[in-house]
Amino acid sequence: MKRILLSLFALVVFGSVHAKTITLTVKTTRRQTVTGFGAACCDGAMRPYGTDKKPAQLLYGPTSKVGLNILRVEISPSFNGDDGASWGSTYNWEGGVPSAQVVKQRGGIVFGTPWSPPGDFKTNGTAQGGNSEDQGWQRGELREDCYEKFFPWLNSYLKYMKSRGVKVDAVSVQNEPDWWVNYSGCLYTPQQQLNLVKNYAHMLDRETYSGVRLISAEPLGFDPRYSNMLLNDKTAREQIDIIAGHIYGHAPLLNGNLKDAAVLAAKYGKEVWMTEHSSTDNIGERLPTWHEQLLFAEELNECMLAGCTGYIYWYMRAHWAFVSTGEAKYGAANKTKNRLLPRAYVMSHFAKNVTGSTRLETSLDMTSGTEAAREYSAYIKDDSLLIVMAIDTTAENSTLRLRLPYNVKGGKHILSTGNETTELCQESEIVLEEPTKTFLVDMPARSLNTYVLVIDKESTAIAAPEMATTKSAKSQFYDLQGRPMPEPRGLCIERRADGTSRKVYLGPRGRAISVK
User: 144-167: string of b/e by CB count within 10 Å (b at 16+)?
Assistant: eebbebbbebbbbbbebbeeeebe
Q: What is the pLDDT of residues 316-361, one digit of tens each?
A: 999 999 999 999 999 999 999 999 999 999 999 999 999 999 999 9
What is the reported pLDDT for 13?
36
At 297, the amino acid letter reads A
From 479, 488, 499, select the one nearest 36 (Cα to Cα). Answer: 479
Query: What would the pLDDT profile of 87-121 be if each residue is shown by its tens digit?
Result: 455 578 999 999 999 999 999 999 999 999 999 99
pLDDT value, residue 16 = 41
| Residues in Cβ contact with 206 at an 8 Å cutoff, skipping those fewer than 6 apart | 212
Sequence-ordered list of residues with C-beta below 8 angstroms from that of 59, at least 6 positions apart, any chain: 39, 66, 68, 316, 322, 323, 344
Q: pLDDT at position 472, please? A: 41
Q: Is 395 helix (H, G, I), strand (E, B) or coil?
A: coil
Name the CA dihedral angle for 139, 144, 146, 147, rounded to a multiple of 10 degrees.
110
pLDDT at 255: 81
**pLDDT for position 168:** 99
One-letter amino acid identity for 363? S
Task: List Cβ neighbours of 149 (8 Å cut-off, separation of 6 or more).
Answer: 121
pLDDT at position 105 is 98
Predicted confidence at residue 319, as pLDDT, reads 97
Question: What pLDDT is attached to residue 439?
Answer: 98
Over residues 222-242, the pLDDT tens digits come to 999 999 999 999 999 999 999
Structural domains of the chain, with CATH: 2-31+360-455 (2.60.40.1180), 35-355 (3.20.20.80), 476-514 (no CATH)
Give the Cα separation of 247 and 316 in Å (integer): 18
Give Cα separations from 354 to 220, 223, 311 (angstroms). 26, 26, 11
Q: How far apart, in whole angstroms, are the C-alpha atoms of residue 194 and residue 175?
A: 15
> In one letter, which amino acid is 231?
L
What is the pLDDT at residue 1?
54
* Cβ(381)–Cβ(404) below 8 Å: no
Per-residue model confidence (pLDDT) at position 348: 99
Nearest to 357 by CA among 333, 376, 385, 392: 385
Low-confidence ranges of the chain (pLDDT < 70): 1-19, 81-90, 464-474, 480-484, 486-487, 489-491, 496-501, 503, 505-516
